Amino acid sequence: MTLPGKIGFVSLGCPKNLVDSERILSQMRAEGYAISPSYADADLVVVNTCGFIDAAVEESLDAIGEAIDANGRVIVTGCLGNREAEIRAAHPQVLAVTGAHAYEAVMDAVHAHLPPPDDPFTNLVPAPGVQLTPRHYAYLKISEGCNHRCTFCIIPSLRGDLLSRPLGEVLSEAERLVESGVRELLVVSQDTSAYGLDLRYRTDIVNGRPLETRLEALARELGQLPAWTRLHYVYPYPSVDRLIPLMAEGLILPYLDVPLQHGSERILRLMKRPAATEKVLSRIRAWREICPDITLRSTFIVGFPGESEDDFDQLLEFIQEARLDRVGCFAYSPVEGAEANKLPDSVPEEVKQDRLARFMEIQAEISRDKLAGRVGQIMPVLIDEVQSDRIVARGPGDAPEIDGVVLIEGEWEDVAPGDFIEVSVTGYDEHDLYAEPV
C-alpha cells in the first residue's frame, strides 16, 4: 500500500462555501487522501475562495499567495474560481482553477496533480463526511444558485440559477448528521423559500411516503429528527406563512433569517428585490400573532446608489415598525460585475457611514429591548462550550457565529458541548443573555 497523498485545505467565505468545502474534503477522505493541517507538510493545497465583495476577493487572492509561498502547488476553487483570468494574473503558477460547487472538476484537478492512493480499504465515504463546524451543529445546504437578479449581487452569475437538491438526498444527509451527533441543523441556500421551484415541487417517494419538494415538507420532516432546525435566507414570500405554525408547534425553531435589505420601495425596486415593504410589515405582524416567540433576523444595506435622505428615513421608519430582534447592516460597497454599478447618484462615503451609524444606534436600542423582554423566560439552550467558570450556550433565538449567546456562570460538571439544558434568563447586555439552570 502506498502512503496517501496529503492535501492542505483552506476554506474562505460564507456558510454555503463551507458546505462545499465539507463535500470536497469528504470526497478526498473517501478516496484515501490525508488532510494536512499545515501547508509545509502537504503535497498540494486546495484554496476554496469567495468572490462576493471586493474585500473577499482580496482575502482570497492573499490566501492563494500565502499557499503558493508556503507550498508552491496550489489548486483554486470556489466563487472566485469563476474569474480565472484575474487569479492567473495575480498568481500565474497556480496548478488549476475550478469554479463554484464544481466538486468533480476539483477532484479531477487533484487526481491530475496528485494521483489517488490505490487502497480498497479507504475507498469508503466516511459517514457523515467531513464537517468543518463543531460536531453538534452543521449546515445543511438544500439548493445552489438563485433565480433572482438583485442588482448588487453577482451570485447568480457565479453560481447560476436555482438548482434544488432532491428531498430524499437532503433528508438522508440530515439523518446521517443527526446520527453522528449533530444537534442543530442550519438550513442554508441562496434562497431557501424557493426550494423545489426548479423541480416544479415534484413529489418524490421518500422512506415509502410521497412528499412534495417544498420547504414546508422539508421542515416538517426535519422537525421529526431529535435536533433543532434553523432556517436561514428565507424570503418573505406568502408560502413562508405556512412555516410559522410549524414553529408555534415546536417542530422547527421559532427563528427566521429574512434578508430584507431596505425599507424604501423605490430602493427595493432599484435593487430588484422580490418584496414590498407594506406587505412585509403586515406579514411580520401576522407571524408574531401565530408565534409570539419568533426571533426575526435580517440584513440591510445603507447608501445604495440613489438612496436619498427620504429613502433612508423610510428605512429607519421600517426598522422602528418591524422591531426585528437581530439585524446586520452594511454600507453599500460596489461589487465588480454587479448591475448596480451602472446606477447613477452614488452616495458619498461619509454619508454612507453616517447613515450606517444612525441606523445601528436605533437598531441597537430595539435589539436591547427585545433581549430585555426575554428576562424571566424559561427556555432550552444548546451548549456550545464548557469553560472553567461558565457555560457558553445558545437559545432558539441565537444562530451560531452571527447572533449572541446565553452565558451560564458557575463551574459545571456532567455537561458537554451538544447537550440541551433548560435555563431561566436572568439578565442581558447588548448582544447576549445571562441565565441560570432551572
CB of 194 to ligand SF4, least distance (A): 9
Stretch that binds ligand SF4, among 18-26, 37-45, 136-144, 148-156 (CB under 6 A): 148-156
Burial class from Cβ neighbours inside 10 Å (0-12, 13-18, 19+) for residue 429 reads exposed
Burial class from Cβ neighbours inside 10 Å (0-12, 13-18, 19+) for residue 200 reads exposed
How far is the C-alpha of 9 from the C-alpha of 179, rounded, in Å?
26
Is 158 a binder of ligand SF4 (CB under 6 A)?
no
CB of 144 to ligand SF4, least distance (A): 11
Stretch that binds ligand SF4, among 4-12, 108-116, 151-159, 408-416 (CB under 6 A): 151-159
Stretch that binds ligand SF4, among 107-115, 117-125, 149-157, 321-329 (CB under 6 A): 149-157
Query: For ligand SF4, which residue of 50, 87, 146, 253 counts as binding (CB under 6 A)?
Result: 146
Q: Are 237 and 243 in contact, with CB atoms under 8 Å apart?
A: no
Q: 124-145: string of b/e by CB count within 10 Å (b at 16+)?
A: eeeebbbbebeebbbbbbbbbb
Largest Cα span, the chain: 70
Is 155 a binder of ligand SF4 (CB under 6 A)?
yes
Query: For ligand SF4, which residue of 114, 150, 258, 391 counts as binding (CB under 6 A)?
Result: 150
How far is the C-alpha of 312 from the C-alpha of 90, rounded, in Å?
39
How far is the C-alpha of 71 from the C-alpha of 57, rounded, in Å?
21
Closer by beta carbon to ligand SF4, 235 or else 255: 235
How far is the C-alpha of 356 from the C-alpha of 300, rounded, in Å?
10
Stretch that binds ligand SF4, among 153-161, 347-355, 362-370, 388-396 (CB under 6 A): 153-161
Stretch that binds ligand SF4, among 120-128, 142-150, 181-189, 378-386 (CB under 6 A): 142-150
Stretch that binds ligand SF4, among 69-77, 130-138, 150-158, 214-222 (CB under 6 A): 150-158
Residue tagged 464548557 (cell numbers):
386
71-74 long-range contacts, CB within 8 A, separation 24+: 71/8, 71/39, 71/40, 71/42, 71/44, 71/45, 73/43, 73/44, 73/45, 73/113, 74/44, 74/45, 74/46, 74/47
How far is the C-alpha of 145 from the C-alpha of 165, rounded, in Å?
11
How far is the C-alpha of 254 from the C-alpha of 287, rounded, in Å?
10
CB of 237 to ligand SF4, least distance (A): 12
Query: For ligand SF4, which residue of 91, 113, 148, 176 counts as binding (CB under 6 A)?
Result: 148
Closer by beta carbon to ligand SF4, 15 or else 404: 15
Stretch that binds ligand SF4, among 17-25, 56-64, 147-155, 302-310 (CB under 6 A): 147-155
Query: For ligand SF4, which residue of 36, 48, 190, 264 counts as binding (CB under 6 A)?
Result: 190
Closer by beta carbon to ligand SF4, 100 or else 246: 100
With CA atoms as reference, report the closest residue to 7 among 73, 105, 65, 92.
73
CB of 265 to ligand SF4, least distance (A): 17
Closer by beta carbon to ligand SF4, 341 or else 387: 341
**Cell numbers placing 334:** 460596489
How far is the C-alpha of 270 from the C-alpha of 151, rounded, in Å?
7
Query: For ligand SF4, which residue of 31, 144, 191, 311 counts as binding (CB under 6 A)?
Result: 191
Residues 353-372 as x/- pattern, contact with ligand SF4 by CB under 6 A: --------------------
Is 335 a binder of ligand SF4 (CB under 6 A)?
no
Q: Are strands 390-394 and 406-409 parallel, antiparallel or unpaired?
A: antiparallel
Stretch that binds ligand SF4, among 22-30, 83-91, 141-149, 241-249 (CB under 6 A): 141-149
Rounded to 5 degrees, φ, ψ at 115 are -55, 145
Closer by beta carbon to ligand SF4, 150 or else 405: 150
Rg (C-alpha) for the chain, rounded Å, is 23
To 5 degrees, how large is the angle CA 153–CA 156–CA 160?
170
Query: For ligand SF4, which residue of 76, 94, 153, 291 counts as binding (CB under 6 A)?
Result: 153
Q: List interacting residues with ligand SF4 (CB under 6 A).
A: 146, 148-150, 153, 155-156, 190-191
